[in-house]
Amino acid sequence: MSIMEKTLTTKKATREAFGDEIVKLGKENKDIYVIDVDIAKSCKTSTFIKELPNQHINVGIAEQNAAGLAAGLATTGKIPFVSTYAVFGSLRMAEQIRQEVCYPNLNVKIACSHGGLTPANDGGSHQAIEDMGVLRSIPNMTVIMGADYHSTRKLVEQAAKINGPVYLRFTRDKVPMLYDETEEFTIGKAKQLKDGHDIAIIANGDTVHLALEATKELEKQGVSVKLLDMHTIKPIDRDAVVECLELGRIITVEDHNILNGLGSAVSEVVAEEGKGKVKRIGVQDQFGQSALYEKLLELNGITVENIVRTANEML
């Protein structure tokens, strides 16, 4: 069954994917360590602690110390995964990530739950809507967000294999499972879910399923859509974006500030190519609020209806 034919009823948070995959990886490779900051239950590393206690370190509520410790471990050949909330793993740790991890280009992975608006009722202080943009601007950093459980597991596995700093962003809330466990993913290479000739939609993370539903609706209206899951926003798949430019119209969809995230990364390629038009759907350069996840998406226009409306306006 193709992804276009699936009924997206089964849901699972991508933080669960990290929790499951990191146990598997840790058993296979004793150099893999998890560094926690006292929120193992929320970040889904409790099983790793139980089954691999000698590969786990809890530094307490001290993210900046976690980054420094991870850098030190990396210099000894270990592969540390710092596990925390996205808002802390990006903004609070930004200086340490820049100076101690990325500047020496060390093999440290920053693995963060509660990305985007998915913390919802935790409020604006815990909603990481700037994180991918902040870390995307630091040299040597790779920035990834999987769309569902299975893709996230594969991308965590790939992140453990490549050498260098990686930022992995996960959802707190459950999101539809789009892919089968047999699907393969390559960091830096977009996943094309559908080819089309009228308009391109490029989404990532927890918005891919919304883009997929919008694509189905547009197809019913006679609009042919090229749909991409751009799970890696740095390095972005430039070739895939350039192919979309053949259609002349691109919509980006993300659960992130429209500044310096996926939309900006795509727009940079488009501007450098000197052709095409981009419309960005995402968090409208504002802080989140304390509300249901779906309500926060609606307040920012991150909905199937708005994607369809935007596509029709561009056409």
Q: Give the residue from 143, 158, 179, 205 showing the smallest Cα distance to 25.
A: 158
Q: Give the residue from 61, 67, 77, 51 showing the smallest Cα distance to 101.
A: 67
Q: Is 128 helix (H, G, I), strand (E, B) or coil?
A: strand
What number of other Cβ atoms are within 10 A of residue 92's Cβ?
18
Active site residue 219: no
d(CA 13, CA 74): 29
CA distances from 101 to 38, 105, 139 (A): 21, 6, 10
- Out of 5, 21, 51, 63, the active site residue is 63
DSSP string of 33-95? EEEE-S-HHHHT-HHHHHH-GGGEEE--S-HHHHHHHHHHHHHTT-EEEEEEEHHIIIIITHH
Catalytic residues: 63
